[in-house]
Structure 1
């Protein structure tokens, strides 16, 4: 490390994570505006992709829980994605009362179109890592994700803060 470089610190790393989160939010906002999708629509599709990756069936109730939405907001979201051709409702073969939500090929194509440029921009950064560095980064990111999930759950259980004066 030369004399002009700063010693890495926890605060600097947290600052980089905050900046990454902000830039990711800005990217998603830009693509959702360009494709006339609500942010919640993209979150729903991401939740459906994650469920499929884990071999889980997505239902309106599971989607509501994943996105922390009310039942009416979930219904509006599912209706909107259905009208846009991004998901299909199917009745469970085991319990005809239960509705399963499935992404369409159109949704997969749209998702690929939206996120391939970001993946393409990040790929060279990942490719530059050695296998050992990649393992360290993946372990770190998994830990950060788990810590963030814990903090989110704790925040949801915490007492609400009083509003600031004038708000």
Structure 2
């Protein structure tokens, strides 16, 4: 696959007024987005806040392309770093599925139930996923229920990989897609 056509989906924790994303997790997301931009990959996300906004800012700072797949019909919902906002009017659940069908791989940072839905959809559609450990929520607990530590079920649709840092995530993406 050509490097500048690789579509990387970021899935992860949104922010709520009573549940802010930690500064450490935002730094990890920023670094990941920045490295995606440096590599020339296209970053896809839900385009809103939390982990998505931090990664989009990193990607923006690296002069990358950020595609935000938004749940509403309003571009004002996008964070300020989204370069291509796509309004769907589909709501959160269906927007997420649309994004998963669009990307080649997903990378998970943190994540609550919506992120888990995206991870399961990634697996169900036979696409690889990478989880950055140490980012909280499902990113730090899902491995316990996986078969052989990398599959949701006996069908083994696609492998779920675990890494310790954004840099390792980029190296794993390059390894999976045979990019030098």
TM-score norm. by structure 2 comes to 0.23
Between 1 and 2, higher relative CO (CA 8 Å, sep ≥ 6) is seen in 2
Larger strand share, 1 or 2: 2
Normalized per residue, the structure richer in helix is 1
Q: Which has the larger radius of gyration?
A: 1
TM-score, normalised to structure 1's length? Answer: 0.25
